[in-house]
Structure 1
Amino acid sequence: MTGREKEILELIKKNPLISQKEIGETLNITRSSVGVHITNLIKKGYIRGRGYVMNKTDYVTVVGAANLDIQGFTKEKLIQRDSNPGEVKICLGGVGRNIAENMARLGIDTKLITATGGDANSKRLLEECNQVGIDMEHVLVLPDANASVYLAIMDVDGDMAMALSDMHIMDRMTIEFIKGKSHVLKNSEVIVVDACVPEDVIAYILHTFKDSKILLDPVSIKKSRGVKDMIGGFHTIKLNRLEAQFLSDMTIQNHDDLPKLAQYFIDEGVERVFITLGSDGVYYKDRRQGGLLASPKIKVVNATGAGDAFMAGIIHGTLYDEPTVEIAKFSTAAAILALQHQETVSPHMQADTIHKIVKEMTIC
């Protein structure tokens, strides 16, 4: 998909009844040029018929955790073993859920398969996810259980100082339950898995839907232990520095170590690898090329949801068959958008906003 086609597609997503004249005026191009791009988008299967109805057969399924986030923010240096003044914020979270919300805000048809309970937090979770456009039809609801909870304390720089997660409810997601969702997973354009899902369920998904593009977010070193021996079954993986070192049994001492480490995953069978390095940017690698993409300096408000936004950017680029380097740029910009808002998922998460950030970034 060309850049211009992408711009037109985003306009159509926002308004399926927009005229070619209105598209041309918005993008400052001729109506005839718009017609050519529309024809190409129809041929490529992104839209169909008159009225530019979006192709609803293309959707993404996320299998992962959804929980309530309790986050504490401080404006002063944290003092251990003491009461610190600050601000406490309660919102929805969970890696899988956060990724799904980011994608829904990007206009991607997204289904979430997760486990939740029958308490008030679970009801809030279901209602608010539906409100932002996530398809929650396939959630495992356990009336005798409570929603999982994630408790995090953020330091003065907006980064996580310490966290505690109660994710036991995810252990009740079984292979038998997932088998009942086979029709959903089989027809997904992309399947996304986070490592909060039980190990045997992940193994079943990799084996049963091995012809699908399955993407992994390992969540943390502890959670990623269960997928270490099956890492080559994933199409794309997104790792931070610590996760990359743990899953490869290699060490990153400097940037010169990144190509060899990323190549390890390619040799295992992974098609695309993204290793996020915080303020140092991201190292990307596929079977043809790799490189380090620097990140611009920004003021961080909340780092909690940056990785989830980055993953959503990867999924967006995978759906649109973007080159790996372009996916890295788009995902970096999505993460920047997340870092600059106190909410775990930025309410400004839109493709056109991200494209503007990409254009403004000074990166190498």
Structure 2
Amino acid sequence: MITARAVTVIGGANVDVKLTLNASPVPATSNPGRLDSSPGGVARNVAENLARLRVPVRLISAVGNDAHGEMLLSEAHAAGVDVTSVLRVNEPTGTYTAVLAPEGELVIAVAAMDVTAQLNVSALQARRSLLEDSALVIVDGNLSSEALSFVGCTAHEAGVPLIIEPVSVPKAAKVRALLHLGLQVHTLTPNCQELEAMLARPLSTHEDLLRAARELHGWGVQRVWVRLGADGSLFCTARHAEVLPALPARVTDVTGAGDAMLAGYAAALLEGQSDLQSARFGHAAAALTVESSHTVSPVLTPEALHARLKGN
């Protein structure tokens, strides 16, 4: 069981701009749709989800000295996240713009996250004691390779469990470099495409995924949790692998589902739940999130997760 100190979440915080199409996309022309915006960013989303699940959590990120940055910090603080360690810099706050199909599935997204480069080794060194005093460190792939390595080495040396969220295919290569340092990683949470990028080969079958997980175990990753979208997930340890089904849900918007899934998993681990049961709590959090138009579901609570699992 992980101890009950605060969780430290490190990585991206940005404004989510979501453009939902009225009909199937037509390339190379204007498509009618509607626009919504909300607080976002993988690390920020995970931190807010954890706070809504009543987990003590601090966020280490970087935002601009602008209205967007102020909004992100105030919204996270209102949800219960400690934001006192977030950098404020003279650059625009990051944005994530997603184009969604009418049924809520992602068509394409653009992440303008240059501000996250300010979260460098020097900035993290100044916050080293926070990492060392964490119950759990969660880091996303928005950081530079050097910053990721610093976080990984610091957590490893302090004996703090580390969870890594790759974020996207282009950023997964940085995670590969970190894993080759031979550190102990509590959990890695890629989807299939990110896992392919980390291992530099296609993974087309269930057996391919199992072999990939075994290879990652050899690199020091204790738990490989592969997201399979509507097919659920594959949870692998050195001794056991199991496919967990996704819970039924009426999809409104898939944005933020993976972040909620990670937060539900981490919160359950902190409660003392088993690995697999914690992953199931993650699936419950994802189901609640895809039914909401918000990136972080306002109805997410521990009671809601228990009720969702009981109902399935």
Fold shared per TM-score above 0.5: yes
Q: Residues of 2 paired with 1:219 and 1:259: CA distance?
A: 21
Q: Does 1:339 align with 2:290?
A: yes
Q: Residues of 1 paired with 2:80 and 2:248: CA distance?
A: 32
Cα RMSD between the aligned structures? 1.6
**Gap regions ≥5 residues in structure 2:** none
- 1:156 is displaced (CA, Å) by 2.1
Q: Residues of 2 paired with 1:296 and 1:187: CA distance?
A: 35
Q: Residues of 2 paired with 1:339 and 1:226: CA distance?
A: 28
Q: Residues of 2 paired with 1:263 and 1:202: CA distance?
A: 23
Residue 69 of structure 2 corresponds to which residue in structure 1?
A: 122
Matching residue's letter, 1:183? S
Q: Residues of 2 paired with 1:177 and 1:81: CA distance?
A: 42
Contact 2:226 2:234 in 1 (8 A): yes
- Given the alignment, which residue of 170, 175, 194 partners 1:227? 175
User: Looking at CA atoms only, which structure, 1 or 2, has the larger radius of gyration?
Assistant: 1
Residue 308 of structure 2 corresponds to which residue in structure 1?
A: 357
Deviations 1:206-257 (A, max 9, x none): 1222121011000001112112122253221111111112212343323333
What is the DSSP-based 3-state SS (H/G/I as helix, E as strand, rest coil) of the residue aligned with 2:164?
strand
- 1:78 is displaced (CA, Å) by 1.4
Q: Residues of 1 paired with 2:154 and 2:203: CA distance?
A: 34
Contact 2:169 2:194 in 1 (8 A): yes
Contact 2:137 2:155 in 1 (8 A): no
Matching residue's letter, 1:349? L
Contact 2:98 2:106 in 1 (8 A): yes
- 1:275 is displaced (CA, Å) by 0.4
Q: Residues of 1 paired with 2:276 and 2:208: CA distance?
A: 19
Residue 240 of structure 1 corresponds to which residue in structure 2?
A: 191
1:158–1:205 CA distance, 2 compared to 1 (3 A): same
- Given the alignment, which residue of 225, 228, 235 partners 1:277? 228
- Given the alignment, which residue of 259, 283, 293 partners 1:308? 259
Residue 5 of structure 2 corresponds to which residue in structure 1?
A: 58
Instruction: Give the alignment of 1:109-188 within 5 angstroms.
Output: 109-142=56-89, 144-188=90-134
Residue 11 of structure 1 corresponds to which residue in structure 2?
A: none
Contact 1:66 1:96 in 2 (8 A): yes
What is the DSSP-based 3-state SS (H/G/I as helix, E as strand, rest coil) of the residue aligned with 1:215?
strand
How many residue pairs get matched?
A: 307
TM-score, reference length from structure 1: 0.81
What is the DSSP-based 3-state SS (H/G/I as helix, E as strand, rest coil) of the residue aligned with 1:287?
coil
Deviations 1:111-166 (A, max 9, x none): 00000111111111111111111100001111x21111111110122111111111
Deviations 1:285-306 (A, max 9, x none): 1132111112244321111111
Q: Residues of 1 paired with 2:308 and 2:155: CA distance?
A: 35
Residue 12 of structure 1 corresponds to which residue in structure 2?
A: none
Q: Residues of 1 paired with 2:9 and 2:147: CA distance?
A: 13
1:256–1:297 CA distance, 2 compared to 1 (3 A): farther
**Gap regions ≥5 residues in structure 1:** 2-43, 46-56
Matching residue's letter, 2:193? L
- 1:334 is displaced (CA, Å) by 0.8
Contact 2:145 2:178 in 1 (8 A): no
Q: Percent identity?
A: 30
Of structures 1 and 2, the one scoring higher in RCO (CA 8 A, sep 6+) is 2
- 1:85 is displaced (CA, Å) by 1.9
Matching residue's letter, 1:235? H
Matching residue's letter, 1:288? R
Q: Residues of 2 paired with 1:173 and 1:331: CA distance?
A: 28
Residue 295 of structure 1 corresponds to which residue in structure 2?
A: 246
Q: Residues of 1 paired with 2:136 and 2:58: CA distance?
A: 11
Q: Residues of 1 paired with 2:105 and 2:96: CA distance?
A: 15
Matching residue's letter, 2:115? I
TM-score, reference length from structure 2: 0.94
